[in-house]
Amino acid sequence: MASPYIELVVGERTVKVTNPDKVYFPAIGATKRELVEYYVSVGEGALRALKDRPTNIKRHPDGVQTEAIYQKRMPPRHPDWLQSVTVTFPSGRTAQSLRVTEVAAIAYCANLGTIDFHPWPVRAADVEHPDELRIDLDPQPGLEFDAARRAAFLTRDVLEELGMAGFVKTSGNRGAHVAVRIEPRWDFVQVRHAGIALARAIEERDPSLVTTAWWKEERGERVFIDFNQNARDRTVASAYSVRAQPHAPVSTPLTWEELEDADPRDFDIRTVPARFAEVGDVHAAIDDRAYSIEPLLELYAKDDRGDMPYPPSYPKMPGEPMRVQPSRARNTQAD
């Protein structure tokens, strides 16, 4: 028997939604149809965050209570109008990645069970030079969103002193993300160095709140700034992405004024469409100006600490320190 389906008109496309009544988010009973319709309702904002970017998709075809399928390559079977772009992974291998060019592409992927979208910080026209610097503020165990909020305001202050503007959003969990549009003139290594310099500058403002310690054993109850989110093939959930949790939270763009008393629990698949209809995309100005990262690269060059470890899946990089957690290094020296 054929699966039940409905059809949605999305722009110039008709998108089929199969098994529309399947429950995807059990805590609130939200269905697959609601997921697809959510992305259409915030399509303008979601497309702004994804437009022309290589995008990884995180799929839960049977709902968020099941194991995720994290897909970095183009869906093997897809309509002719769905576009792709070639990306190069740290290993040197290449692949065809989804390139989002219209809201219908987002809806199509949502029908495949895509809960959240993870775009690269580059555009299809130049996949080797990022146009976005990302600050991922990750509260460590024992901390709640308020810690990320305070770290985000520290981030804003440092950026303003550098003459740069950041755009903040909830992560969809306890954290926050700040994005800075940058000129696409520097490669991934340089942009990551800029991210390290910025993270260290934020840490210096309040080392009791913020840490750049890569090794978890050194972080304590602080907000970790994950500088490696600026490395090649590392991504964060896009603005307006639903997150794979039972209550369907959304990674929601905010104004800095809204951040002062925002509660991430207020933003979910059912509340964000009404918010979007009322206030629109509060990050609509993110593309108005792109900044130079030269001031950050100058800070990095002056810092005697140099580079920091890459994630374990990466090849050894020039200038990178040893990837040995401090406690193991001490034990080895003692032996």
pLDDT tens for 71-97 read 999 988 899 999 999 999 999 999 999
**Positions of CATH 3.30.70.3300 in the chain:** 132-234+288-302
Q: Which residue has the higher pLDDT, 148 or 330?
A: 148
Distance of CA 105 to the CA centre of its chain: 18
**Positions of CATH 3.90.920.10 in the chain:** 5-127
> What is the predicted pLDDT for the residue at 318?
87
Q: Which residue has the tokens 């959240």?
A: 116
Q: Quickly state the pLDDT bin for 328 (edges 50, 70, 90).
A: confident
User: What beta strand segments (E) does 43-194 contain?
Assistant: 54-59, 69-71, 83-88, 94-99, 114-119, 132-139, 167-170, 176-181
Q: Quickly state the pLDDT bin for 323 (edges 50, 70, 90).
A: confident
Q: Is 239 in contact with 283 (CB distance < 8 Å)?
A: yes
The rounded mean pLDDT for the chain is 96
As assigned by CATH, the class of the 132-234+288-302 domain is: alpha beta
The mean per-residue pLDDT over the stretch 156-172 comes to: 98
Q: Which residue has the tokens 């959510």?
A: 38
Q: 5-127: which CATH architecture?
A: Alpha-Beta Complex (3.90)
pTM for this model (two decimals): 0.95
Helix ranges restricted to H, 20-102: 32-41, 43-50
CA distance 224 to 264: 19
